[in-house]
Structure 1
């Protein structure tokens, strides 16, 4: 299975469903502007809160590496969306060709195996996150998009996510996003904390308990755990 192609196709489907066909023009089906660069910036800022970086409070706070990985996957949704939008508007290549090209980058090859990866140091991780944020603040161009892809996979590598783990967490979050939409997320009555745990953590635990389940089975597991 081509994990990279699968993730790009799922992201295309999610954006088509959530934002409407033609979202690549930068506007949702409801007429709201889309800014993937800003999404990357804001999600990256949330990622930094996984670290106890605030010197004036929470002095004993330890780094939440599990949350860090979930936040990396959140950013991946937006990086893929940015790349898909740019590719669509520039008519450069199909999704299949895009996946093939990205899969050959040295940065992706570093994570493209099932070997466990160690976490980078906290300082190095935060510097890499800030590099992703810096790129997200400059105008989009072929150079910016290429650099964003490279920096993201470097971040995934430093965040101890190999390709299989990235795929599983991404698919999990993709299904969770669908579940959220089906249970009132846009309307504002979705419950995000399930019996003391954030829904992200519930999803991750479900994958860990049954890594071979299908996306449909994951949806069913979430439905069973949801505090209706």
Structure 2
């Protein structure tokens, strides 16, 4: 429950900061329409590109599991944003209520154990497409099904609650770092000396799994400043 609640609180804070405190009504502080469902299915499409699914190109290429895991975390940002919005619009409660309900789901209990195995490529792609079909459906959103399918994807991607949490916190800090350094204005540089910032953030976590969020932000700042000076 604690890890889920912290992730929900961090996402709510990030959305308040970047989109304005009324973001759950579907519009940013700049008047831009928010569509979390579109964010999810577009990110899912990028996730599929972690695999050599094309029958006409790079047919022997190995899956990029590291990239897949980053994309899974990106989708999680959007799913919990959609969930918080759904709870607000339907008067189902706040992030605490959402956190309690998620932690009581049978699918949540499956990810709350140590896990690092990958599923077969076609099985993962099928699960990703199932998530896409849920958010593309014209029917009323089945939020519980969406979250349950996502937790299945977490397991299939070699992740569990602890690794999902660690990568989520890292990506949340990175997203805040991007916003603070011109991401929305288009001046932020995403590739640092040949490596995407996602990869650098993940490596920092791997080198120091106990690093605190504030220290992670400082480390990213130091690397980014050195890169921009070079």
Q: What TM-score does the superposition give when structure 2 sets the normalisation length?
A: 0.95
- The answer to whether the aligner puts 1:124 opposite 2:115 as a matched pair is no
Could you say if the C-alpha distance between residues 14 and 140 of structure 1 is closer, same or farther in structure 2, counting changes exceeding 3 Å?
Answer: farther
- The answer to whether the aligner puts 1:55 opposite 2:59 as a matched pair is no
Q: CA RMSD in A?
A: 1.1
Deviation, structure 1 residue 96: 1.2
8 Å Cα contact 2:20-2:28 kept in structure 1: yes
- The answer to whether the aligner puts 1:157 opposite 2:155 as a matched pair is yes
Deviation digits for residues 93-119 of structure 1 (CA, Å, limit 9, x no counterpart): 231121111111111111112x23311
Deviation digits for residues 101-157 of structure 1 (CA, Å, limit 9, x no counterpart): 1111111111112x2331111010000000000001024635x11111111111111
Deviation digits for residues 7-50 of structure 1 (CA, Å, limit 9, x no counterpart): 00000001111110111111110111110000001000000000
Deviation digits for residues 163-211 of structure 1 (CA, Å, limit 9, x no counterpart): 0100000000000001101111111111111111110000000000000
What SS class does the counterpart of residue 60 from structure 2 fall into? coil
Question: Structure 2 unaligned runs (5+)?
Answer: none
Correspondences of 1:91-102 after superposition (within 5 Å)? 91-102=91-102
Give structure 1 regions of 4+ aligned residues with deviation exceeding 6 angstroms.
Answer: none
Query: Aligned equivalents of 1:108 and 1:92: distance in 2?
Result: 20
- The answer to whether the aligner puts 1:42 opposite 2:42 as a matched pair is yes
Query: Aligned equivalents of 1:171 and 1:140: distance in 2?
Result: 32
Equivalent residue number for residue 168 of structure 2? 170
Question: Structure 1 unaligned runs (5+)?
Answer: none
Q: What TM-score does the superposition give when structure 1 sets the normalisation length?
A: 0.96
Could you say if the C-alpha distance between residues 139 and 16 of structure 1 is closer, same or farther in structure 2, counting changes exceeding 3 Å?
Answer: farther
Query: Aligned equivalents of 2:170 and 2:68: distance in 1?
Result: 15
Correspondences of 1:104-123 after superposition (within 5 Å)? 104-113=104-113, 115-123=114-122
